[in-house]
């Protein structure tokens, strides 16, 4: 960016996305905004911006991953801090949007928490939102401010295209029917066949994959999804395709939530490699599966989107190059 841009645009980072925000700034040749978060002994948060931001275009990068409530609260306080500092515009950059799975009432007397979170972000003072691979694309409509919804599909497709020769006879597997649209796009881009797993969830913690639609016998399998949470779905799916004669299994997902028994399950599952992005910070907690894990950075895609938003350029070109949304 030009010197004028560097003076006018500011990118700040919450504690959950410091490394990713720094990579975005490196991509844009910008310094990371000077701000920090303090934690009081009673658990309250104080966000302090240490430079002049009046009249500037500000972006706050913060994934609302575990600890979800603390990270969400920090994002809200950061937005409020900037709003009271008289910035020109605030964009909440949320690489991983927590509470996205609570997007509808599927039984009586339950909340739609994704809508509540959208209301909170808007009320705090955000002017627009930038996010990646929402678990449910309709969450864009929960906001009363503009939402730019990016897909990491192109990032992953480019990575796997570079490996296409070693994959040989490849089949893309969707671990559930809700992800078929994205899996089909991967199959088209990688010139591969498509297979679908009919997943039946027995409970919130237990998933049983029962039926496979398609042929995987003797073939290399690439499973694609938007997130791996407890890893129940992907590990059960991996066992199913191996039982059906698959030669090897590689799994990919944008968001490595990886909670509960996820590490143990991925270690025990017949999965050769797990490819994820850095929408959620990867630290020491990933060590149990570091021999299987490969992390791609989403910083370039987010940085390009920030550049386009700042210059009032169309972001739809990134949508087109970023592939399909889940649903």
252-291 per-position pLDDT tens digit: 999 999 999 999 999 999 999 999 999 999 888 899 999 9
Q: Are 50 and 13 in contact (CB under 8 A)?
A: no
CA nearest to 306, candidates 76, 53, 57, 123: 57
Instruction: Give the residue numbers annotated as catalytic, written as ranges.
Output: 199
The whole-model pTM stands at 0.93
Cα–Cα distance measured from residue 295 to residue 66, given in angstroms and rounded to the nearest whole number: 18
Residue 135 banded pLDDT, cuts 50, 70, 90: very high
Cα–Cα distance measured from residue 143 to residue 97, given in angstroms and rounded to the nearest whole number: 13
CA nearest to 255, candidates 136, 99, 95: 95
Q: Are 94 and 129 in contact (CB under 8 A)?
A: yes
User: 35 vs 20, 50, 53, 217, CA distance in Å?
Assistant: 15, 5, 11, 54
**Residue 120 main-chain phi, psi, to 5 deg:** -65, -45
Q: Is the dihedral of CA 71, 74, 80, 82 positive or negative?
A: negative
Mapped onto helix, strand or coil, the DSSP state of residue 212 is strand
Structure confidence at residue 144 (pLDDT): 96
Instruction: Give per-residue pLDDT as tens, 228-259.
Output: 999 998 999 999 999 999 999 999 999 999 99
Instruction: Give per-residue pLDDT as tens, 58-105.
Output: 999 999 999 999 999 999 999 999 999 999 999 999 999 999 999 999
Q: Alpha helices of 190-293 — where are they, by DSSP H?
A: 232-243, 262-268
Query: Among residues of the chain, what percentage have pLDDT more than 90?
Result: 82
Residue 1 banded pLDDT, cuts 50, 70, 90: low
Structure confidence at residue 199 (pLDDT): 66
What's the token pair of residue 5? Answer: 């841009």
- The larger pLDDT score, comparing residue 80 to residue 166, is at 80
Structure confidence at residue 322 (pLDDT): 47
What's the token pair of residue 97? Answer: 């949007």
Residue-wise burial string across 129-156, b where 16 or more C-beta atoms lie within 10 A, e elsewhere:
bbbbbbbbbebbebbeeebbbbbbbbbb
Structure confidence at residue 200 (pLDDT): 64
For residue 178, pLDDT over 90 is answered with: no
Mean pLDDT over each residue of the chain, to the nearest integer: 92
Cα–Cα distance measured from residue 285 to residue 185, given in angstroms and rounded to the nearest whole number: 32
User: 186 vs 193, 197, 235, 241, CA distance in Å?
Assistant: 9, 16, 20, 18
Residue 151 banded pLDDT, cuts 50, 70, 90: very high
Structure confidence at residue 282 (pLDDT): 84
Structure confidence at residue 160 (pLDDT): 95
Structure confidence at residue 272 (pLDDT): 97
Q: Is the dihedral of CA 103, 265, 94, 174 positive or negative?
A: negative
Structure confidence at residue 76 (pLDDT): 98
Q: Are 147 and 140 in contact (CB under 8 A)?
A: yes
Q: Are 109 and 74 in contact (CB under 8 A)?
A: no
Residue 327 banded pLDDT, cuts 50, 70, 90: very low
**How would you list the strands of the sheet with 293-296, edge to edge?**
207-213, 193-201, 170-174, 220-228, 248-256, 273-277, 293-296
Unique residue bearing structure tokens 């275009």 = 57
Residue 210 banded pLDDT, cuts 50, 70, 90: confident
Residue 164 banded pLDDT, cuts 50, 70, 90: confident
Cα–Cα distance measured from residue 118 to residue 124, given in angstroms and rounded to the nearest whole number: 10
Residue 2 banded pLDDT, cuts 50, 70, 90: low
For residue 13, pLDDT over 70 is answered with: yes
Can you list the domains of the chain with their CATH numbers? Answer: 3-151+299-321 (3.40.50.2020), 153-296 (3.40.50.2020)
| Dihedral Cα 145, 84, 90, 98, nearest 10 deg | -70
Q: Are 179 and 167 in contact (CB under 8 A)?
A: no
């Amino acid at each position: 960016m030009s010197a004028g841009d560097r003076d006018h645009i500011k990118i700040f980072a919450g504690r959950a996305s410091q490394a990713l925000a720094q990579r975005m700034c490196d991509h844009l040749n910008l310094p990371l905004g000077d701000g920090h978060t303090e934690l009081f002994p009673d658990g309250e948060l104080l966000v302090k911006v240490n430079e002049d931001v009046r009249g500037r275009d500000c972006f706050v990068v913060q994934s609302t991953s575990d600890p979800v409530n603390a990270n969400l609260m920090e994002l809200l306080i950061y937005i409020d801090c900037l709003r009271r500092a008289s910035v020109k515009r605030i964009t909440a950059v949320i690489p991983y949007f927590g509470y996205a799975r609570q997007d509808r009432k599927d039984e009586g007397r339950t909340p739609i928490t994704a809508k509540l979170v959208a209301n909170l972000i808007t009320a705090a003072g955000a002017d627009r939102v930038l996010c990646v691979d929402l678990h449910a694309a309709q969450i864009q409509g929960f906001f009363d401010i503009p939402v730019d919804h990016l897909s990491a599909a192109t990032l992953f497709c480019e990575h796997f295209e570079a490996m296409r020769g070693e994959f040989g006879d490849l089949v893309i597997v969707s671990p559930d029917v809700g992800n078929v649209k994205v899996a089909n796009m991967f199959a088209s881009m990688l010139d591969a066949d498509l297979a679908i797993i009919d997943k039946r969830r027995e409970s919130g913690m237990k998933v049983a994959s029962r039926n496979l639609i398609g042929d995987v016998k003797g073939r290399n399998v690439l499973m694609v999804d938007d997130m791996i949470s407890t890893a129940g779905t992907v590990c059960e799916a991996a066992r199913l395709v191996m039982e059906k004669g698959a030669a090897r299994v590689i799994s990919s997902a944008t968001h490595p939530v990886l909670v509960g028994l996820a590490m143990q399950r991925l270690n025990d599952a017949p999965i050769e490699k797990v490819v994820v992005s850095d929408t959620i910070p990867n630290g020491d907690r990933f060590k149990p599966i570091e021999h299987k894990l490969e992390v791609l950075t989403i910083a370039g895609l987010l940085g390009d989107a920030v550049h386009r938003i700042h210059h009032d350029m169309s972001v739809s070109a990134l949508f087109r190059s970023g592939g399909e949304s889940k649903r």
